[in-house]
Amino acid sequence: MGCECDCKTETRKAPALREMKLEFLYLDESACEPCGETSAKMEKAVEAARGPLAAMGITLNIEKKHIASRAVATAERLVSSPTIRVDGVDIDPAVTEDDCPSCGTLAGDDTKVDCRVWHWRGEVYPAAPVGKIVESLMAAAMATPAPADVGDFTLPENLQRFFAAKEKGNALGC
């Protein structure tokens, strides 16, 4: 379709496609209430964001990672469960946690385990709000991706307690 005037119209190429990575790291999606609820809300957020991301030329790659051992937690640099990262960046970097009886039972040995709570628009939520996830995806889509931190990492004490109890053989089948 051409221009009706005598001007020369510029042919524009479609923007280059970009891939964006969404990671969901969790201790147990079925037994841990915060992990299960966050997973379900993440699916809703992905459904809501796919169209706008596609219009921006962005393909969303989703990786769900069950963190089943201390070694995996350390390799993945897990600071709290559940965690959602966009292009390697935690969407709620001010990690706040609260007691998670389901993970304590899962770890066994009457272990106290805390799971992440989420902050969004001045409120605290037990699972990541759909809006927070969508906002994080859109912000990352519009920003220049930053490289993930690759410095030294020490597994937080809370997760060390979880895996220590689980390694003792008291776990309920994670």
**Token pair of 1, please?**
């379709």
Pairwise CA distance, residues 43 & 101, whole Å: 24
Q: Is there a contact between 78 and 111 (Cβ–Cβ < 8 Å)?
A: no
Looking at the domain assignment, is residue 69 inside a domain?
yes
Q: Is there a contact between 137 and 53 (Cβ–Cβ < 8 Å)?
A: yes
- Residue 73: domain span: 19-143+154-170
DSSP category for residue 125 = E
Looking at the domain assignment, is residue 1 inside a domain?
no
Looking at the domain assignment, is residue 137 inside a domain?
yes
Q: Give the total number of structural domains in the chain.
A: 1
Secondary structure element (H or E) that encloses residue 51, with its range? helix 33-55
Looking at the domain assignment, is residue 70 inside a domain?
yes
Looking at the domain assignment, is residue 2 inside a domain?
no
Q: What is the pTM of this model?
A: 0.79
If DSSP codes are grouped into helix, strand and coil, which group holds residue 94?
coil
> Quick one: pLDDT at residue 78?
96
- Give the domain CATH number at 68: 3.40.30.10
> Quick one: pLDDT at residue 170?
63
pLDDT by position in tens, the chain (length 174): 445 555 555 555 545 588 999 999 999 999 999 999 999 999 999 999 999 999 999 999 999 999 999 999 999 999 999 999 999 999 999 899 999 988 888 888 778 889 999 999 999 999 999 999 999 999 999 986 556 667 788 999 999 999 998 888 765 554
